[in-house]
Every structure is written in structure tokens, then in C-alpha cells.
């Protein structure tokens, strides 16, 4: 095994192009598990931990860009205005994991259970990748093609993710059997856009990739009293929202949970998150 240690993005991209069999590693919280267990023996490691250009984020007008090298600990500390993202970051592993695991790792590994992924889907985010051939932007739903599969070419690196900041409340929740340190049995992210009057609901761990629930989104956009923030949504509408969300899930039975339970969790979390976001909106308005 060899290790390549680029100090700049330019160097990293050049090395990536020259070594298509190199496995990129930043925080190591996914890859090193496989290496420690003898399950992965990459011929070449491409260590991205020194590439400073990947470790920043910026906000320009309404557009946010978060570099692939941003850890969940830093996201939690620095991106406080993006509540669902911070809630997702807080739910990741432990302090030790959060100080290392990166959003770029979540994106590159593309596990259907990746904690940040429902948030990026709810934000309608665009994945930004780079290579010596230049930058490429692709909508999240085109980028993630299957469980742990993306359109990332062998000479490309994930540079980061960007989205248009939605003005409105949102939340993230994930269920695991234990009260800490769990891989999500199911995760749900809801984001309201008060300006555009749209609702975005994304589901994690219940399909081959993270998915949105368009029927529930359309339903909610229709029934939410956009002009009357103090008005509550009737219970039947909240329940219907939950039902439509669950119908969008395509879960499987596995070691962590059954398909039936996952669908049930989606229904419950979708309902709760709708009530919370509308409640938060009410609280802000009054």
C-alpha cells in the first residue's frame, strides 16, 4: 500500500488523475473500519486531510457552499443557522467521530444511511466535484445512483455541496435502537420555504439512496396555511402527510430493522416534523 499526501487541491486533483485506483480518505471514519477489519486493502491511499481548500464554507447572497473537508463538529459549531444540518451533525456518532467525519465522506461513501444526506436532499443540494478537467455540478438525485454508488468518475474528487438557503424552519430526526451512537434505522428531514411556499421532505435509510417524498410535499404545500402562520393544521392533514411520506419509502428488512418498522418510523417522524416546523413558524411569527 502506498500513501499520497497532497498539500493543495491542485496537487490532489493531479494525483487523483494519475492514480485512478487511489482511494481518497479525509476523516477515515468509514475507510479505516474496512482497513482495520482486513476488508479493504486499497493499493493507494489519497490523503486529503491537508488540502485546506476543501475545509471552508461560504455564503454568498442566498447560496451556501460547504467544502467536502468540513467535519460534522465544525458544521455543528459554524453553520448554526441551518438547523436540520446541525441536528444531523449532532446525531452523528460521538464527539470523537464528529471531529473527523466529513460531509464529503458522507457524499463520497453514499451510504443510504449517511446522516447528512437527507438534509442535502431536502435542501435540493448540488454536489460539486472536481478533476483536472475542471468542475462539475450535479443535482443530488442525479449524483447518487444506488447504495454506495455515485457518478463520481475515477479521476474526480468531491469538492463540496451547495444549495440555495431556504427561508423557513426545518428539522432532522433519525431513529436508532439506542440513545446514542446509532446508524439510522430511518432518517427524515423536512424543510419549509416560506418564500417559495414549498415543502421538501427527504427520507434516509429507507431506499437504495436518499429519496424525496414528492406526493407528501405537494400535499403539504397545498394544505399549509401560508398566509396565516398562527393557524394550526388539522390533525387529519398531518396524518395524511405522514401516510404519504411512508408510501414514498422503499425500505428493506435488515439486521437493523424491518421494512415495516422503517415505514412506520417515516410516518411518525414526518408527522412530528411537520408539527414542529409549523409550530416553530408560529412561535416566530407571534
Partner 1 sequence: MDARRPEGRGLLIHTTVNGLDCEADVWPGASLLALLRDEFGLAGSKNACEQGECGSCSAWLDGELVCACLVPAVQADGAAVRTVESLGDGRRLHAVQDAFLAAGAVQCGFCTPGMVVAAVDLLERNPAPSDEAIREALAGNLCRCTGYQKILDAVHVAAAELS
Partner 2 sequence: MSTTQITPTPSGVGTSARRVDGIPKVTGTYAYASDLDAENSLWAYTVRSPYASARIKGIDVSAAHRAPGVAAVLVAADIPGRKTFGLEFCDQPVLADDVVRYAGEPVAVVAAESLEEARQAASAIVVDYEPLTPVTDMEAALRPDSPRVHDFGNVLRHVHILHGDVDSPEAEVWVDGYYETGTQDQAALGPEAGLAVPGSDGGIDLYVATQWLHVDRQQIAPCLDLPEEKVRITLAGVGGAFGSREDVHMQIHASALALKTGRPVRMSYGREESFNGHVHRHPSRTWIRFGATRDGRLLAADVRLLLDGGAYASSSPAVISNASTFAPGPYEVPNVRVEGTVVYTNNPPCGAMRGFGAPQVCFAYESAMDVLATKLGIDPIELRLRNALHTGSVLPTGQVITGTAPVREVIERCVAIPMPAPEPAAGRDAISYPGGAGNVSRGESLRRGVGFAVGYKNIAYSEGFDDAAEATVTLRPTPDGPVASVRTAAVEYGQGLYTVLAQIVRTELDVEDVAVEPATTMENGSAGSTSASRQSTMSGGAVLGACAEIKRELASGPLEEPITRTYTYHHRATTELDDQGQGAPHVSFGFAAERAVVEVDEELGLVRVLQIAAVQDVGRVMNPQGATGQVEGGTAQGLGLAVLEELDLKDGIIRNASFTDYLIPTILDVPPIVTEFVEEPEPDAPYGLKGIGEMATVVATAAIVAALRDATGRTLNRAPATPEDLAGLRPPATTTGPAPVPDVPGQKAIPEYLGLGLGQQELMKARGR
Which residue spans within 17-169 are E strands per DSSP? 22-25, 44-47, 57-60, 63-67, 126-131, 134-139, 144-146, 149-150, 157-164
| Residue 47 binds: one of partner 1, partner 2, none (C-beta under 5 to 8 A by kind) | partner 1
Q: Which residue in the set 173, 190, 202, 245 belongs to the binding site for partner 2 (CB under 8 A)?
A: 173
Residue 240, number of CB atoms within 10 A of its CB: 16
Enumerate residues 39-98 that contact partner 2 by CB under 8 A: 87, 90-91
Q: Which residue in the set 8, 36, 52, 250 belongs to the binding site for partner 1 (CB under 8 A)?
A: 36
Nearest to 97 by CA among 80, 115, 124: 115
Yes or no: say if 277 and 189 are a contact pair by the CB < 8 Å rule.
no
Nearest to 250 by CA among 240, 241, 242, 260: 260
Please state the closest distance from residue 97 (CB atom) to partner 1, in A.
6
Nearest to 174 by CA among 281, 270, 68, 240: 270
Q: Which residue in the set 196, 260, 283, 285 belongs to the binding site for partner 2 (CB under 8 A)?
A: 260
String marking each residue 180-199 x if it binds partner 1 according to CB under 8 A: xx------------------
Stretch that binds partner 1, among 21-29, 150-158, 205-213, 223-231 (CB under 8 A): 21-29
Site residues for partner 2 per CB under 8 A? 36-38, 87, 90-91, 171-185, 255-258, 260-261, 264-265, 268-269, 272, 276
Amino acid at each position: 500500500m502506498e500513501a499520497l499526501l497532497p498539500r493543495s487541491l491542485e496537487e490532489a486533483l493531479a494525483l487523483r488523475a494519475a492514480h485512478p485506483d487511489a482511494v481518497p480518505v479525509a476523516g477515515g471514519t468509514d475507510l479505516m473500519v474496512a482497513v482495520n477489519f482486513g476488508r479493504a486493502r486499497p493499493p493507494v491511499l489519497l490523503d486529503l486531510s491537508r488540502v485546506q481548500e476543501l475545509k471552508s464554507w461560504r455564503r454568498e447572497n442566498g447560496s451556501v457552499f460547504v467544502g467536502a473537508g468540513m467535519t460534522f463538529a465544525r458544521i455543528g459549531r459554524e453553520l448554526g443557522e441551518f438547523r436540520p444540518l446541525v441536528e444531523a451533525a449532532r446525531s452523528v456518532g460521538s464527539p470523537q467521530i464528529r471531529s473527523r467525519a466529513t460531509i464529503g465522506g458522507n457524499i463520497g461513501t453514499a451510504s443510504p444511511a449517511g446522516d447528512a444526506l437527507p438534509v442535502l436532499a431536502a435542501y435540493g443540494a448540488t454536489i460539486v466535484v472536481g478533476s483536472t478537467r475542471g468542475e462539475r455540478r450535479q443535482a443530488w438525485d442525479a449524483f447518487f445512483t444506488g447504495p454506495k454508488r455515485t457518478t463520481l468518475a475515477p479521476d474526480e474528487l468531491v469538492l463540496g455541496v451547495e444549495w440555495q438557503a431556504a427561508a423557513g424552519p426545518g428539522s432532522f430526526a433519525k431513529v436508532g435502537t439506542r440513545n446514542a451512537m446509532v446508524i439510522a434505522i430511518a432518517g427524515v428531514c423536512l424543510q419549509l420555504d416560506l418564500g417559495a411556499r414549498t415543502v421538501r421532505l427527504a427520507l434516509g435509510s429507507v431506499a437504495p439512496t436518499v429519496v424525496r417524498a414528492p406526493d407528501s410535499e405537494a400535499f403539504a404545500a397545498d394544505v399549509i396555511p401560508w398566509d396565516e402562520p398562527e393557524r394550526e393544521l388539522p390533525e387529519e392533514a398531518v396524518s395524511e402527510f405522514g401516510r404519504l411520506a411512508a408510501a414514498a419509502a422503499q425500505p428493506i428488512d435488515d439486521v437493523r430493522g424491518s421494512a415495516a418498522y422503517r415505514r412506520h418510523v417515516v410516518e411518525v417522524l414526518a408527522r412530528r416534523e411537520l408539527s414542529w416546523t409549523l409550530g416553530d413558524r408560529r412561535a416566530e411569527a407571534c
